[in-house]
Amino acid sequence: MIRSRMWRALALVAAAFGPDLGVSAAASAQSPVPWPTHEAMFVIANFRFGSGERLGALRLRYVTLGKPHSDAHGRTDNAVLLLHGTGGDRHSLLNPIFADVLFGPGQPLDITRYFLILPDDIGHGQSSKPSDGLHARFPHYDYDDMVRSQHAMLLEGLHVDHLRLILGTSMGCMQAFVWGETYPGFADALAPFACLPTALAGRNRMMRYMAIRAIKRDPAWDGGEYRSEPLEGLTTANEMLLVMGSSALQMQKQAPTRAAAEAYVEAYLKRTLARTDANDMIYQLDASRNYDPSGALERITVPVLYINSADDFINPPELGIAQRLARRMPRCRFILIPISDATRGHGTHTVAALWKDYLAELLRRSEPDSARGR
């Protein structure tokens, strides 16, 4: 009984800080739709990072659903870029609680109408990352590098010169703001979910800093040249991420006894430690170090649907940051989803049933005149 409750909980806590939380567990708890996906790899030669470092061949893995369409002028008019969170990958948003609610016939991101693109970001999935061999000598990428590489992938790899929508969760949320400022008007609309459009400071940065330090202080880390994973440091880091991405209400309900709570933690750690590389995690957590779109939010003039949830421990609403900064984007609608039995803390960004009607409304109000009736 305890184990059954534990797995149901893990299937619903879709926190961005680790692909396990809401992907593999969710798939085991539900029967996912066999979406007709296409896998591909795009390689950027001699990619120059913002740090000045270079990589001879930057690999970007991605998956697509649906087919691209062009308007009368030859410009792509139905492409949607879907961006995962820290520690996730191109499959994160194929989670049934996201994809099954949005991708089907008549749904907001119906794949018979839209061309969906889900990349592995730099440092994630099967894209180039420290664990490929460079370890701690891998270039120190950031969110700007991720967005520039996505832009190149779209233009040169997929020949997509325009996006109907960018939807991003957690780290992908932050990238959506970077996209809006770096390439104004490239997308008709933005849907950033579960983040703040300002520098990561306070508790959020403290958590990342402590997790990184826990790994590096483990003697087994050995400057990034470990022969086996530094399990003490990784365990501490993953424990912090579990708390940060969790929902207090759901955890209390799903683990109401000491035995259930402890079993939950042990199963979580067993799964995440088996799939986490220490250097990859350090780089993933540190990629946000210079993120701060707050200085140029007025450049984002396309319609924006910006959603956070009231039980998000990573982006707590009492800070008032989201509400204040949303007003600086002239066509932004900010929604704070109240705590309920359906919310999942930070992972609410993946529970599409809670916000899909808002997304449908965004698509309606951002539809170009030339596309109406298509």
CATH of the domain at 293: 3.40.50.1820
Measured distance CA(107)–CA(104) in Å, rounded: 5
Instruction: Please say whether the beta carbons of 178 and 150 come within 8 A.
Output: no
The yes-or-no verdict on residue 350 having pLDDT over 50 is yes
Query: pLDDT digits over 162-171, tens only?
Result: 999 999 999 9
Tokens, residue 348:
């609410």
82-125, pLDDT tens digit by residue? Answer: 999 999 999 999 999 999 999 999 999 999 999 999 999 999 99
Tell me 49's DSSP state.
P
Owning domain of residue 81: 2-371
In whole angstroms, give the CA distance from residue 261 to residue 255. Answer: 5
How confident is the model over 124-182, as pLDDT tens digits? 999 999 999 999 999 999 999 999 999 999 999 999 999 999 999 999 999 999 999 99
> Residue 41 is inside which H or E element, if any?
strand 38-48
CA angle, 158 as apex, 65 and 16 as ends, to 5°?
55
Report, as an integer, the average pLDDT of 9-38. 48
Give the C-alpha distances (Å, rounded to integers) separating 251 from 18, 188, 257: 17, 38, 10
The alpha carbons of the chain give a radius of gyration, in whole angstroms, of 20
Query: Tell me, what's the pLDDT at 368?
Result: 87
Counting residues of the chain whose pLDDT is more than 70, the rounded percentage is: 90
Query: Do residues 60 and 120 lie in contact, with contact meaning Cβ atoms separated by under 8 Å?
Result: yes
CB atoms within 10 A of CB 235: 18
Q: Is 263 exposed, middle or buried (0-12, 13-18, 19+ CB in 10 A)?
A: middle
Q: Say whether pLDDT at 34 is over 90.
A: no
What average pLDDT does range 4-30 have in this prediction? 37
- pLDDT at position 23, please? 32
The runs of H, that is alpha helices, within 24-164 are: 25-29, 96-102, 143-152
The pTM assigned to this predicted structure is: 0.91
pLDDT at 87 (0 to 100): 95
Residue 201's pLDDT band (cuts 50, 70, 90): very high
Our count of domains for the chain comes to: 1
Check residue 241 and report its DSSP letter. H
Asked if pLDDT for residue 15 goes beyond 90, the answer is no
Contacts of 202-208 with C-beta under 8 Å, sequence gap 24+, read 202/319, 204/314, 204/315, 205/288, 207/240, 207/241, 207/244, 207/314, 208/285, 208/286, 208/288
Could you report the per-residue pLDDT of 241-270, keeping only the tens digit for each? 999 999 999 999 999 999 999 999 999 999
Name the pLDDT band for 370 (thresholds 50, 70, 90).
Answer: low
Whole-angstrom Cα distance, residue 33 to residue 30? 9
Q: Is the pLDDT of residue 10 over 70?
A: no
Say which residue the tokens 């896998």 belong to. Answer: 39
Computed over every residue of the chain, the mean pLDDT equals: 91
Confidence check: pLDDT of 305 > 90: yes
Provide, rounded to the nearest whole percent, the portion of the chain with pLDDT above 90.
Answer: 89
Using one digit for the tens of pLDDT, what is the confidence trace for 217-246? Answer: 999 999 999 999 999 999 999 999 999 999
Of residues 236 and 4, more confidence is placed in 236
Alpha helices, DSSP H, located in 17-79: 25-29
